[in-house]
DNA sequence: AAGTGTCA
DNA sequence: CATC
């Protein structure tokens, strides 16, 4: 039987996080097995690695990328690079599965024709976190950000356009997708220190996929 | 600078 | 708030 990969949550409404942002609870669940396979393949080609902030401090997550552009951080700063500094090779191709998932999710929030050219993969183990920040290394902020959560639950910190606004805490579960763009595109966000736990598929980790249009 | 440590 |  022919079935719609997105049917599980195709009819559910986004949980609003702002005028042009929302949480699509469980949106990626129908694709979970294919997503985990794709992540494994990506990590074989572009291994997980620990990045350093420009200040020289190690980040607590492990990172890799796929797509035309990969986000990288070191003492030179934050930037997108076309080649993996670890291997010298181009980043693995962005799987069509992921491209379509991101396009469908963006469409649910009113962003048509989203075309990701970068996917940052962050792996959190218990204790790992991501401080409040803006995604502002992309060449244009016209396209939204699409974030896919897999594995252990996390508290998403969802702030305002100004750093001093106290962020809301939103629990993100395996299969959840968050989309933000337009007036919400530069909102500060982060992830609270991951609590210990074991996920049936992923064990003691959370993997987040962040899809972006980084180039021209 | 998406970091941590420190001070109020 | 300091930090190649």
| pLDDT tens per residue, range A150-180 | 999 999 999 999 998 999 999 999 999 999 9
Could you list the residue range(s) of the whole structural domain that residue A38 is in?
Answer: 2-212
- CB of A49 lies under 7 Å from some atom of strand B: no
Residues A174/A153, Cβ–Cβ less than 8 Å: yes
- Residue A23 tokens, joined: 């949480």
Which strand (E) or helix (H) includes residue A78? strand A77-81
Q: How many whole angstroms separate alpha carbon A92 and alpha carbon A109? A: 28
A65 annotated to bind ligand = no
Strand C positions within 7 A of protein Cβ atoms: 3-4
Q: pTM here?
A: 0.94
Q: Is the pLDDT of residue A27 over 50?
A: yes
Rounded to whole angstroms, the Cα distance separating A177 from A198 reads 20
The β-bridge partners of A201 are: none
Confirm whether residue A62 is marked as ligand binding. no
CATH number at residue A63: 2.60.120.590
Number of Cβ within 10 Å of residue A37's Cβ equals 12
In chain A, the number of structural domains is 1
């Amino acid at each position: 039987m022919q079935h719609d990969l997105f049917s599980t949550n195709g009819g559910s409404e986004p949980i609003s996080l702002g005028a042009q942002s929302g949480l699509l609870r469980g949106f990626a669940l129908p694709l979970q097995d294919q997503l985990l396979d794709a992540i494994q393949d990506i990590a074989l080609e572009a291994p997980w690695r620990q990045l350093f902030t420009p200040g020289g401090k190690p980040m607590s997550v492990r990172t890799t990328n796929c797509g035309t552009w990969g986000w990288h951080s070191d003492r030179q700063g934050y930037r997108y690079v076309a080649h993996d500094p670890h291997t010298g090779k181009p980043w693995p191709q962005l799987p069509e599965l992921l491209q379509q998932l991101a396009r469908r999710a963006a469409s649910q929030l009113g962003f048509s024709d989203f075309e990701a050219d970068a996917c940052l993969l962050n792996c959190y183990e218990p204790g790992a976190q991501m401080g409040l920040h803006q995604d502002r290394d992309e060449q244009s902020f016209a396209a939204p950000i699409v974030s896919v959560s897999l594995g252990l639950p996390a508290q998403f910190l969802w702030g305002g356009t100004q750093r001093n606004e106290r962020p809301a805490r939103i629990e993100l579960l395996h299969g959840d997708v968050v989309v933000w763009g337009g007036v919400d595109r530069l909102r500060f966000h982060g992830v609270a220190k991951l609590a210990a736990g074991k996920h049936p598929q992923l064990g003691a980790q959370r993997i987040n996929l962040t899809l972006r249009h980084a180039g021209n």
